[in-house]
Amino acid sequence: MRALLVDDEPSIRFLNRVLLEERGVEVADESGGLAALDRLGRERFDAVVLDHRMPDLTGTEVAIRLREAGDQTPLVIYTGWSSDEMEASLAGLDVRVVPKDDPHALVDWVAGAGSA
């Protein structure tokens, strides 16, 4: 199981990397949406974790671009900020939203994504 973790906060990437690796997930990471899209154009992952609020592209924007390109990799937006507008933007895209105050829910989702 390989996951790409995308977050502009190094401490969040570090914490989630540790938690995911403890569950046997191989983790690669990027600090922004544009870098993630570039990497996803070159490599395949079993799951992608996207922060919502990043300086270059939001997690929602990355998810939309991936789905428009036909990429069906399981996606989760891991966010401390959510809104009805964000949820509406994700409607029909098969993207899970997990709050940042529940890292274990994120880890459970990623660890299960490869067997879904």
| pTM for this model (two decimals) | 0.89
Q: Taking all residues of the chain, what is their mean pLDDT, rounded to a whole number?
A: 89
Q: Where are the domains of the chain?
A: 2-113
Tell me, what's the pLDDT at 98? Answer: 87
Q: Which CATH class is domain 2-113?
A: alpha beta
Distance, CA of 102 to CA of 85 (rounded, Å): 21
Q: Is 63 exposed, middle or buried (0-12, 13-18, 19+ CB in 10 A)?
A: buried
Residue given tokens 């933007």 in the structure block:
89
Tens of pLDDT, residue by residue over 52-81, are: 889 899 999 999 999 999 999 999 998 876
| Structure letter (DSSP) for residue 35 | H
Tell me, what's the pLDDT at 72? Answer: 93
Tens of pLDDT, residue by residue over 78-106, are: 887 665 666 777 778 888 888 888 888 99
Tell me, what's the pLDDT at 80? Answer: 74
